[in-house]
Every structure is written in structure tokens, then in C-alpha cells.
């Protein structure tokens, strides 16, 4: 099985999308910022992969999917992309995954994929990182991250994952907002009834999740009975 991305095969599945491929790049987000809507930017390796909240994204050569997509901005785009990523992983590997609001894809308590969305110049620039064939992660990341290879015990085709993901993006980005909220709430154990800690710029919030509001923000019910609306990430399962 070829383990590197088969760009010709990916292009043949998505003839309507401009697909740009870099063996090495700082970040696919940088290249995507200059692309038109519909474009896909892929890299085999990133030297300055960006994560959410100013973190870096571990981007070992040929081990993961490092992809940026240029999309029409849409409400709940970030939740739709989480669903698309989960769908691709489940389809190709059969693993059970969870979604930690808003869009971390989890296997058990470890993160296997992450999504970052920037809005700029009337474009939604979405970055998707999926840990596929990493055999291990450096500390301290190893405590929080996993890969499809670690979870299945076998190597997984990057090309199959990417093709399944891009098809799922086409499907989920056509759904309306109430449908995305319903699908997300169904797929995510974090959406309701989960005790969480949320790291916010003005301090910590702890409580039990109580669903999504109509805009897709997470409602957390604190122990004093009041609700807080979480509009950005930083959600973690609370230690019991």
C-alpha cells in the first residue's frame, strides 16, 4: 500500500477542485490564504504547522493529513468540518470517534484530529490536521494525542482518508444549520450531560454541558444552576 498522498488519484476524484500540493511548506494555511474558493492545499510536511489558540501542530513528514480548504464562509462551518473528519475516519478505519466541541476529533480521551477556521476576505480558510501514521508522539504531546495507526495497529492510507474526507466535506457543507446541530449533538458526547472544565481568557468555567444554542455555541450549566455560553474552545473533560 502506498503510504504517501497519491495526488493524481485525489485530483481524479475532485476534478472541480484546484488541488495544490507541497512536499514541504511552513503551513498550508499560508498558501490557502492566496487561493480561490474551492481550492485544497495539501502538504506532506509542515515546518510551522498552526494549531488553535496559538499552539503549533505536530506535522511529521508523510505521517498525517495536513490540509487547508478554502470554502464559502457559513455558520457552523467548524462543526460541519468536525463531522466530515469523523465520518472519514469511521468510514476508512471503523474506529469509534467522539467530537469534543467545537471540532476536536477524539478517540477515547486522546485527540486524533483538529480543525482551525480563519475567516478572511469573505473566505473561510479551514485547516485540518489528522494524525494518521504516527508511530509515537514526543512528550508532552504523547499524553494527549493519538493516531489512527496507534489505535488500529496498522498503517492507514492517507489517500483513502483524504478522499473520504473531501467527499464528506461536500456532503456536510450542503446541510442546513439545524441539521448540522442535530448531527453534531448526536455524534458528540461533549454536547450534553458531560462534566467539563473550560479554559477562557477570563478564567475557568466548570459545569455540565447542556446542549448547543441555535448558533452552535456550547451551553455549560454551572453548579450554582446558571448557564454560561462558550463561544470559543478550550473544553476539557473534568477530572472526576
CB of 1 to ligand BTN, least distance (A): 23
Q: CA-based diameter of the chain, in Å?
A: 57
- Residue list 194-233, contact with ligand BTN (CB under 6 A): none
Question: Is there binding between residue 38 and ligand BTN (CB under 6 A)?
Answer: no
CB of 21 to ligand BTN, least distance (A): 13
CB of 34 to ligand BTN, least distance (A): 14
* 3-7 CB contacts, 8 Å cutoff, 24+ apart: 3/62, 3/133, 3/155, 3/157, 3/158, 4/44, 4/62, 4/158, 5/42, 5/44, 5/158, 5/159, 5/162, 6/159, 7/42
Q: Which residue's CB is nearer to ligand BTN, number 201 or number 226?
A: 201
Q: Binding residues for ligand BTN, how many (CB under 6 A)? A: 20
Contact between 60 and 39 under an 8 Å Cβ cutoff? The reply is no
CB of 104 to ligand BTN, least distance (A): 6
CA pair distance 4, 131, nearest whole angstrom: 14
Stretch that binds ligand BTN, among 11-19, 21-29, 158-166, 204-212 (CB under 6 A): 21-29
Stretch that binds ligand BTN, among 51-59, 78-86, 151-159, 187-195 (CB under 6 A): 51-59
Contact track, ligand BTN, 64-103, x by CB under 6 A: --xxx-----------------------------------
CB of 14 to ligand BTN, least distance (A): 17
Contact between 161 and 147 under an 8 Å Cβ cutoff? The reply is no
134 φ/ψ angles, rounded to the nearest 5 degrees: -65, 130
Phi-psi region of 108 (alpha: psi -120 to 50; beta: other; left: phi over 0): left
Question: Is there binding between residue 50 and ligand BTN (CB under 6 A)?
Answer: yes
CB of 56 to ligand BTN, least distance (A): 8
Give the residue ranges of DSSP H helices in the chain: 7-13, 28-32, 77-93, 148-152, 158-172, 177-187
CB of 196 to ligand BTN, least distance (A): 17
Question: Is there binding between residue 115 and ligand BTN (CB under 6 A)?
Answer: yes
CA pair distance 108, 33, nearest whole angstrom: 33
Contact between 67 and 41 under an 8 Å Cβ cutoff? The reply is yes
Q: Which residue's CB is nearer to ligand BTN, number 49 or number 207?
A: 49
Footprint of ligand BTN on this chain (CB under 6 A)? 27-29, 46, 49-52, 55, 57, 66-68, 104, 114-116, 127-129
Amino acid at each position: 500500500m502506498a503510504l504517501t498522498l497519491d495526488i493524481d488519484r485525489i485530483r481524479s476524484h475532485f476534478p472541480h477542485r484546484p488541488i495544490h500540493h507541497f512536499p514541504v511548506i511552513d503551513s498550508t494555511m499560508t498558501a490557502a490564504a492566496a487561493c480561490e474558493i474551492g481550492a485544497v492545499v495539501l502538504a506532506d510536511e509542515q515546518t510551522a504547522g498552526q494549531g488553535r489558540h496559538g499552539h503549533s501542530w505536530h506535522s511529521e513528514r508523510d505521517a498525517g493529513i495536513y490540509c487547508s480548504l478554502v470554502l464559502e464562509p457559513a455558520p457552523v462551518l467548524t462543526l460541519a468540518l468536525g463531522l466530515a473528519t469523523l465520518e472519514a475516519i469511521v468510514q476508512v478505519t471503523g474506529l469509534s470517534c467522539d467530537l469534543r466541541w467545537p471540532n476536536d476529533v477524539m478517540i477515547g480521551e486522546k485527540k486524533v484530529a483538529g480543525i482551525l477556521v480563519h475567516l478572511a476576505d469573505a473566505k473561510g480558510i479551514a485547516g485540518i490536521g489528522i494524525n494518521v501514521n504516527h508511530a509515537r508522539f514526543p512528550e508532552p504531546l504523547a499524553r494527549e494525542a493519538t493516531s489512527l495507526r496507534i489505535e488500529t495497529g496498522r498503517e492507514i492510507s492517507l489517500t483513502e482518508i483524504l478522499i473520504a474526507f473531501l467527499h464528506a466535506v461536500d456532503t456536510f457543507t450542503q446541510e442546513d444549520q439545524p441539521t448540522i446541530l442535530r448531527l453534531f449533538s448526536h455524534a458528540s458526547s461533549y454536547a450534553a450531560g458531560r462534566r467539563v472544565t473550560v479554559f477562557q481568557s477570563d478564567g475557568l468555567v466548570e459545569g455540565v454541558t447542556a446542549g448547543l444554542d441555535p448558533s452552535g455555541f456550547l451551553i455549560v450549566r454551572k453548579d450554582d444552576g446558571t448557564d454560561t455560553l462558550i463561544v470559543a474552545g478550550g473544553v476539557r473533560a473534568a477530572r472526576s
